[in-house]
């Protein structure tokens, strides 16, 4: 399992346009793995009965289950190379509004179907190749009313819903300290831990600019560059919540920060406004608050908090927040540090990056909710704004901005009293 996690490579790029023509013998990265290849996905039927069909190069096993609020069907598959045409899943048919696909963990892929209303999985099966047709995964949905839908959820012996990627990561790290520190039996690493959290990933593309520019790819590239820059000084240990195109639930991102006793958590995103919502520009730094600082911050937090629903995580399984006086005290201190870092970061970023006209905001971001880890969420800019997008895809802009963030981190830790942060 660990070996598989370590050997996992960047062989697949779900949803990108760089896919070979469907049905062609696929050269390039995909050929280097033995993962099953999905070459086409299509919908058939109407608003009463809708069928989802996925063409494969070999039969696979899978499981499918439904989720409510919003209505979704999730298909968990072994790791699959999706070589589907760009735009696949954007338009729906019948009961299926849209669908997404991507990696959820090393060895595991997922397809999430967004439903137009309650539906039950009438049949699901894999057909062997026959009559010139490739092996196919078929899922048949039937419209039901909400009561029947909810009853069918209760009857199901629910499989493990959580993709478990973070659990795998944490376990892998715990089991292989050698890989992290290189020195066996050395003194424990006392350097502050910085967790860098590139938003979205896998089935969750994040915001999208007109072409093929996806937030999940932009912020991953930025996050990895930031990691490399911060690690150069040797003063910090950096942990990434993801290093490839994998979906990680929001709560698992928070869990990584807490289990690492992180001294700082930085979530990286890029925003977008819909057409007709104006043309905002520049970077914004967000901290956690119960009440959003303005309507735009609230809209953004709602959008970012949808990540789990997009990725097919059952939100009702999330534990409710613990109200505890001790946690509140820690939270107050954490909040002070979060705000302080946000201000330092703004002071540095404004030298290199174009900032939003109100660059410091707050709202109820679920990913910022570790009670004991100072956390900020940075929206690097708007992919919907032409000038911002030029920056976001430019390597020189990225280098400059990564540099200013690294400087802010140095300043923050230089001024931090010894008692600051989780300080265990």
The length of the chain, given as a count of residues: 424
Q: How far apart are CA 280 and CA 357, in angstroms?
A: 9
Q: How far apart are CA 317 and CA 96, in angstroms?
A: 24
Task: State which residue, 51 or 100, has the beta carbon closest to Zn ion.
Answer: 100
Task: State which residue, 37 or 363, has the beta carbon closest to Zn ion.
Answer: 363
Using CB under 5 A as the binding rule, the residues of this chain from 220 to 279 that contact Zn ion are 269
Give the bridge partners for 196, in sequence order: 240, 266
Examine residue 206 and tell whether it contacts Zn ion (CB under 5 A). yes
Cβ at position 215, least distance to Zn ion in Å: 5
Total residues interacting with Zn ion, rule: CB under 5 A? 4
Q: How far apart are CA 196 and CA 199, in angstroms?
A: 9
Angle at the Cα of 56 (from 55 to 59), degrees rounded to 5?
A: 125
CB-based burial label for 45 (10 Å; 0-12, 13-18, 19+): middle
Task: State which residue, 100 or 269, has the beta carbon closest to Zn ion.
Answer: 269
Cβ at position 259, least distance to Zn ion in Å: 23
Examine residue 366 and tell whether it contacts Zn ion (CB under 5 A). no
Task: State which residue, 73 or 103, has the beta carbon closest to Zn ion.
Answer: 103
Task: Please check whether residue 39 is in contact with residue 55, taking contact to mean a CB–CB distance below 8 angstroms.
Answer: yes
Report which residue's Cβ sits closest to Zn ion.
269
Using CB under 5 A as the binding rule, the residues of this chain from 41 to 80 that contact Zn ion are none
Cβ at position 68, least distance to Zn ion in Å: 24
Task: State which residue, 206 or 359, has the beta carbon closest to Zn ion.
Answer: 206
Contact residue for Zn ion among 15, 199, 223, 371 (CB under 5 A): 199
Give kind and range of the element (H or E) at residue 39.
Answer: strand 37-45
Cβ at position 121, least distance to Zn ion in Å: 30
Using CA atoms, how far residue 357 sits from 74, 276, 347, 381, in Å, is: 40, 19, 14, 12
Task: State which residue, 263 or 272, has the beta carbon closest to Zn ion.
Answer: 272
Strands 375-382 and 283-288: antiparallel
Q: Is 69 left (phi over 0), alpha (psi -120 to 50) or beta?
A: left
Examine residue 198 and tell whether it contacts Zn ion (CB under 5 A). no
Cβ at position 54, least distance to Zn ion in Å: 27
The one segment of 96-104, 130-138, 200-208, 404-412 that binds Zn ion by CB under 5 A: 200-208
Task: State which residue, 19 or 207, has the beta carbon closest to Zn ion.
Answer: 207
Interface characters, 308-337, with Zn ion (x: CB under 5 A): ------------------------------
Look at residues 126, 179, 202 and name the one whose alpha carbon lies nearest to residue 2: 179
Residue ranges binding Zn ion (CB under 5 A): 199, 206, 269, 304
């Amino acid at each position: 399992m660990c070996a598989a996690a370590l050997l996992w490579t960047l062989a697949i790029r779900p949803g990108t346009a760089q896919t070979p023509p469907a049905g062609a013998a696929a050269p390039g990265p995909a050929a280097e793995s033995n993962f099953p290849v999905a070459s086409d996905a299509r919908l058939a039927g109407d608003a009463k009965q809708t069928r989802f069909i996925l063409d494969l190069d070999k039969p696979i096993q899978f499981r499918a289950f439904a989720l409510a609020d919003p209505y979704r069907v999730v298909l968990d598959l072994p790791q699959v190379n999706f070589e589907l045409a760009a735009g696949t899943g954007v338009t729906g048919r019948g009961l299926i509004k849209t669908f997404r696909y991507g990696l959820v963990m090393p060895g595991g892929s997922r397809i999430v179907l967004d439903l137009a209303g309650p539906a039950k999985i009438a049949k699901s099966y894999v057909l062997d190749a026959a009559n010139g047709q490739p092996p196919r995964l078929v899922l048949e949905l039937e419209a039901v009313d909400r009561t029947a839908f909810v009853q069918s959820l209760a009857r199901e012996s629910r499989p493990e819903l959580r993709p478990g990627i973070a659990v795998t990561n944490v376990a892998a790290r715990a089991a292989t300290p050698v890989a992290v520190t290189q020195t066996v039996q050395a003194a424990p690493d006392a350097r502050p831990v910085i967790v860098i959290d590139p938003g979205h990933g896998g089935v969750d593309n994040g915001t999208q600019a007109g072409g093929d520019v996806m937030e999940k790819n932009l912020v991953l590239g930025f996050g990895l560059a930031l990691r490399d820059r911060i690690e150069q000084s040797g003063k910090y240990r950096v942990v990434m919540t993801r290093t490839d195109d994998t979906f990680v639930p929001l709560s698992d991102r928070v869990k990584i920060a807490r289990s690492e006793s992180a001294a700082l958590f930085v979530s990286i995103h890029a925003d977008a406004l819909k057409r007709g919502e104006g043309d905002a520009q520049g970077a914004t730094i967000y901290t956690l608050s119960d009440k959003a600082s303005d309507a735009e911050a609230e809209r953004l937090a709602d959008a970012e908090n949808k990540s789990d629903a997009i990725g097919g995580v059952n939100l009702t399984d999330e534990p409710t927040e613990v109200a505890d006086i001790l946690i509140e005290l820690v939270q107050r201190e954490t909040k002070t540090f979060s705000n302080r870092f946000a201000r330092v970061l703004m002071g540095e970023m404004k030298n290199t990056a174009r900032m939003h006209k109100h660059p410091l905001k707050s709202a109820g971001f679920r990913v910022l909710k570790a009670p004991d880890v100072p956390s900020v969420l940075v929206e690097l800019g708007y992919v919907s704004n032409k000038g911002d997008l030029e920056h976001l895809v430019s390597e020189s802009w990225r280098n400059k901005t990564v540099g200013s963030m690294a400087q802010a981190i140095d300043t923050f830790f230089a001024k931090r009293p010894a008692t600051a942060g989780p300080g265990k």
